[in-house]
Amino acid sequence: MPRFDAARTAALISACSRRAGRWRVLAVLAWSAAVALPGAELQAADSQTAGTPASEVVIDDQARRNKINEELNDLVDSPVLVPMATLREQLERGAMTAGIVPEAPGDQPLTPTGIYDRVAPSVISIGHVYKCPHCPNWHLNNATGFVIDRNGLCVTNYHVVDQPLDTAESLMAMTFDNRLVPVVEIVAANKADDIAIVRIADPSLQPVALADRAAVGTDVFIIGHPGSRHYTFSDGRVSRRFMSEWAGEKIPMLSVTADFGVGSSGAPILDAYGRVVGIVTRTSPVSAPKPEGGRDYVQMVEKLCVPVESLLKLLNDGG
């Protein structure tokens, strides 16, 4: 029988009760009791990552998908899932109403492997829960996010959580060690900057540190899930800082040469210290017309990111 973890439950209640309704706290309490000591299948999944450097963990994408499909079918009818209608209302909240305690960065640069070891456990899969039109199962749309404090706050893109009510049931996250965790609240959001700060029902994850900014030429690294190839690590540099227009506003942007693709939305852009300097948002092809007509040549794909300054502004404007 699962053992009730009082300390973990208290932390969850503290994290969720500041804004959530009473029924949500009770739901999280029930969730904590249910997962305090997971079954043999989940323990086996965790045993692959416990005490093992992230860089040595072999990611099994199919096992993650299978686990999501199996557990979502049971979770959809449980009270731990916050309805998408409630989460969409919270998208209007704007900046944070209280600050966070940021994670202290290291004072020495890391090797690329060291960056992955430090940050990969702080990166999550996140997306909306939907009923598959082609099978009887519920699925989780795949995007990326990352943890920024010890109360379960995570960052992803606005477009990841801005989902229509006719297809999305709720929002859910999955951790590096293959645990499904509900999104219980959207805490802050900015559509123009394409940033959403959400709270997940797990305050045990290690946060990642935030930098102040990154200049052109800064070496950068990305951990994301392109094409559901979970925890893919790429590197490059900041290639451009510029202003762009999005959602009717002029906003600052970065472009980087590090690779990413669909499924990496919301992934952290990291510097050599493992600090977040930006957030993956979208790609933009640069094309040239064929002289003979037909489809244009794609000459390069610009990798566009939100600078960390925009995240810091969202965190600090209301604090």
Q: Cβ atoms within 10 A of the Cβ of 132, count?
A: 10
Q: Are residues 51 and 81 located together in one domain of the fold?
A: yes
Q: Are residues 224 and 159 located together in one domain of the fold?
A: no
Q: Are residues 55 and 191 located together in one domain of the fold?
A: yes
Q: Are residues 123 and 81 located together in one domain of the fold?
A: yes
Which residues lie closer than 8 Å to 235 by C-beta, 6 or more apart? Answer: 112, 219, 220, 221, 222, 258
Q: Are residues 195 and 306 located together in one domain of the fold?
A: no
Does the residue 205 lie in any domain?
no
- Which helix (H) or strand (E) is 197 found in, with range? strand 195-200
- Tell me how far the alpha carbon of residue 220 is from its chain's centroid: 18
How high is the mean pLDDT in each 10-residue block of the chain (319 residues)?
40 47 48 42 48 94 91 83 93 82 86 97 96 86 95 95 91 95 95 95 92 97 97 98 87 96 97 98 87 79 95 80
Q: Are residues 312 and 230 located together in one domain of the fold?
A: yes
pTM: 0.84
Q: Are residues 93 and 147 located together in one domain of the fold?
A: yes
pLDDT in tens, 284-313: 888 888 777 777 878 889 999 999 999 999
Q: Are 143 and 127 in contact (CB under 8 A)?
A: yes
Q: Are 219 and 286 in contact (CB under 8 A)?
A: no
Look at the chain and report how many structural domains it folds into. Answer: 2
Q: Are residues 167 and 275 located together in one domain of the fold?
A: no
Does the residue 129 lie in any domain?
yes
Q: Are residues 284 and 194 located together in one domain of the fold?
A: no
Which residues form the domain of 242? 219-316
Q: Are residues 105 and 132 located together in one domain of the fold?
A: yes
Burial class (CB within 10 angstroms; exposed 0-12, middle 13-18, buried 19+) of 230:
buried
* Domain harbouring 257, CATH code: 2.40.10.10
Predicted pLDDT at 112? 97
Q: Are 141 and 174 in contact (CB under 8 A)?
A: no
Torsion of CA 108, 116, 261, 256, to 10 degrees: 10
Angle at 176 between CA 175 and CA 180, to 5 degrees: 25
Does the residue 312 lie in any domain?
yes
Report DSSP state, residue 57: P
Predicted pLDDT at 2? 36
How many residues are present in the chain? 319
Q: Are residues 16 and 143 located together in one domain of the fold?
A: yes
Q: Are residues 149 and 29 located together in one domain of the fold?
A: yes
Tokens of residue 125, six digits: 């899969």
Does the residue 214 lie in any domain?
no
| 287 DSSP β-pair partners | 298
Does the residue 61 lie in any domain?
yes
